[in-house]
Structure 1
Amino acid sequence: MSSKIGLFTACVFSLGLATSALAETELTVYTAVEAEDLGRYAETFNEKYPDIKINWVRDSTGIITAKLLAERDNPQADVVWGLAATSLLLLKSEGMLEPYAPKGVENLDRKFVDDDTPPSWVGMDAWIASVCYNTVEAKKAGLTPPKSWKDLTDPQYKGHVIMPNPNSSGTGFLDVSSWLQLFGDKGGWEYMDALHQNIARYTHSGSKPCKLAAAGEIPIGISFAFRGAKSKAAGAPLEIIVPSEGVGWDMEATAIIAGTEKLDAAKKLVDFTVTKDANKMYNKGYAVVAYPGIAKPVEHFPEGLADAMINNDFVFAAVNRASILKKWQERYDGKSDPK
């Protein structure tokens, strides 16, 4: 009898160890995804992979990028899930990414996949610049709606515009890099000099300018279109303006950090990120996703926005990122929110 009890106890103990071992597979995942979405991302992933726990490290794009670069010689992350492609191109150039072709990657739109074979990163969704214009507050201030980026340098808008700081915000960086592409190096900085005269403050979040405009704290917020559509659907008196010169954009992407000791689990996570289920999840927060045919129409998303997307030179943005941010900080950082 005692031997049977001993055997039963040993089996239970062994099963407990096995279950514990499965439950203790943890991945440190760096992300710039909106904090409100992280629980949903982890929950959806765990429906398929309940044995992998995600430990999130979340901050704005610029801060996460700087953190990864600072940890280059001693990586702390296993995976990046949701960071600007321009940042991942920079990390790739530093040899920090583990090339991997996730299962099903061939189903994605090719512009969402790194050109190398195997790819070093895969895209998830795209966010697109736009201007959130509070019609009620603008009327109170006697403003007329801008039609272009250059219109925003008109003196009537002085103190009425907020935009993201590109050193901390991916949205801010895509704005700055797109202006340099649209207007040229000299013209781009001249434009930003003029725009700076009208800026009330620079935020450290890409969505915050639109949220502030939606709340009536500022008439004009340079942000991204989906945030504006979401706020308008919630009842905010917003007009979402697509500037006539064209709009910058970037994509969120995923990659494995080279040197991770949890490569098998990391590959499972990246496999999941390219699935239909994952892209349906992205579509709840973004109007454009990597998997063709998944995205559903978004209420209040501005017409013609896709046609206004510039032919974004991601390599230019990645290669020149450090020098662009340094120059921007030297010229305009005095109006930034405290960190």
Structure 2
Amino acid sequence: MASPAHAEDRLVIAGYGGSFEDILRKDLFPVFEKQHNVKIDYVAGNSTNTLARLQAQKSNQEIDVAIIDDGPMYQAIALGFCAPIADLPKDDLYPAARYKDDKAVAIGIVATGIMYNKKVFAEKKWAAPTSWDDLKDPKYKGVLVIPPLNNTYGLHALVQYARANGGGERKIDPGFKVFKDQVGPNVLVYEPSPGKMTELFSSGQALIAVWGSGRAKSFADTGFPVGFAYPREGAYALLSSVCPIAKPKTNPLAQAFVTYMMTPEVQTKLGDAYGYGPVNKKATYKEDPNAPVQLPAGKVAQDLIVVDWDTVNQNRDDWNKRWTREIER
């Protein structure tokens, strides 16, 4: 049921902060606001924050549209927070972008890989990282930063170390063991904030990190000497995703905004400005083979590893507690 007209002059969107928010506010919101005569209220936070907000507001949802990572998005769908998307340009989308029952859709593909300071690596005559195992190298003691487990990048690293050592999503113990014994001793800090991450690199405290291709590209665009490696064992796929929130009085512009994010123009902009691999086949962003951060598009995107989110989400609370107890103590 559509809400009365007076409610339509305000659309509440929750999504990531940092450089992603800057691009939305500068390049994407003004066009949509003008087209639909609406004011967008943006609530910035990481995916875990946004999911927690949806849970806290369960009986009276303020949020109209949520932009969150694929893992938390599966949880949001399971908890009944997402409404089916009405006008999905299905033929134009890559199959990987779609969710079950079309209750969410990806707006961009990010690769989780290894970011490093190219300039300092050259000065120290260190080879560029090529493997997840490189993060165990004692020379990185005190200069490695990894986001914590409640962040998708940190989770990807844990799953990778489990998979490489006889385990996986269904047998996570080997991943914890590698973190505890071999990777953890090198870690300066388990940092979830994108702003703090770039600060640690800018100040020279951090030289290498597990991070996403989109964030790394935005950082490189500031002129920082960013290097970004797709590890030989495989980089992991993170689908930045959007869903219209299910509630008794929905704002019809929620659906319109989701459709807007799928358009070739927006998809091209998110590729050029933010480094997302596009999900719409008609997007025309420019690939640059000399760019410091290669975008996850074409074959690169096809080769990305996708985690088993159903298994992860069943166990994630227990893993988070264990992480706090054993790794980040």
* Counterparts in 2 of 1:306 and 1:275: CA distance versus 1, 3 Å: closer
Report what 1:159 is aligned to: 142
**Once the 2 structures are TM-superposed, how far is the Cα of residue 211 of structure 1 from its aligned partner?**
5.8
Unaligned runs of 5+ in 2: none
Deviation at 1:70? 2.9
The answer as to whether partners of 1:132 and 1:222 remain within 8 angstroms in 2 is: yes
Note the aligned Cα RMSD (angstroms). Answer: 2.8
Question: Distance in 1 between the 2:217 and 2:258 partners?
Answer: 29
Aligned positions, number: 310
SS of equivalent to 1:73: coil
List alignment gaps of at least 5 residues for structure 1: 1-20, 335-339
SS of aligned partner of 1:76: coil
SS in 2 for 1:322: helix
8 Å Cα contact 2:117/2:201 also seen in 1: yes
Larger radius of gyration: 1
Q: Distance in 1 between matches of 2:86 and 2:314?
A: 24
Letter in 2 for 1:333: E
Using the size of structure 2 for normalisation, the TM-score is: 0.83
Pairing 1:170–2:159 present: no
Aligned-partner Cα distance in 1 for 2:302–2:99: 23
- Asked whether the equivalents of residues 15 and 68 of structure 2 are also in contact (C-alpha less than 8 Å), the reply is yes
Residue correspondence of structure 1 range 239-250 to structure 2 within 5 A: 239-250=227-238
Give the TM-score, by structure 1 length.
0.80
Aligned to 2:64: 78
Q: Percent identity?
A: 21
Q: 1:246 to 1:42 in 2, by over 3 A?
A: same
State the alpha-carbon separation in 2 of the partners of residues 257 and 314 from structure 1.
21
CA distance in 2, matches of 1:70, 1:180: 33
Give the 5 Å matches for 1:1-339: 25-33=9-17, 34-39=20-25, 40-50=27-37, 52-80=38-66, 82-116=67-101, 119-138=102-121, 143-167=126-150, 169-183=151-165, 184=167, 185-193=172-180, 194-206=182-194, 208-209=196-197, 212-213=200-201, 216-283=204-271, 284-294=273-283, 295-298=285-288, 299-302=291-294, 305-306=300-301, 308-334=303-329
**1:275 to 1:305, Cα distance in 2 relative to 1, 3 A:** closer
Query: 1:253 is paired with a residue of what secondary structure?
Result: strand
Using a 3 Å threshold, how does the CA distance of structure 1 residues 68 and 327 change in structure 2: closer, same or farther?
farther
- The CA distance in 2 between the partners of 1:86 and 1:323, in whole Å, is 15
Task: Note the alpha carbon deviations across 1:170-212, whole angstroms, 9 max, x for none.
Answer: 3333433444455422221122212111100011225753563
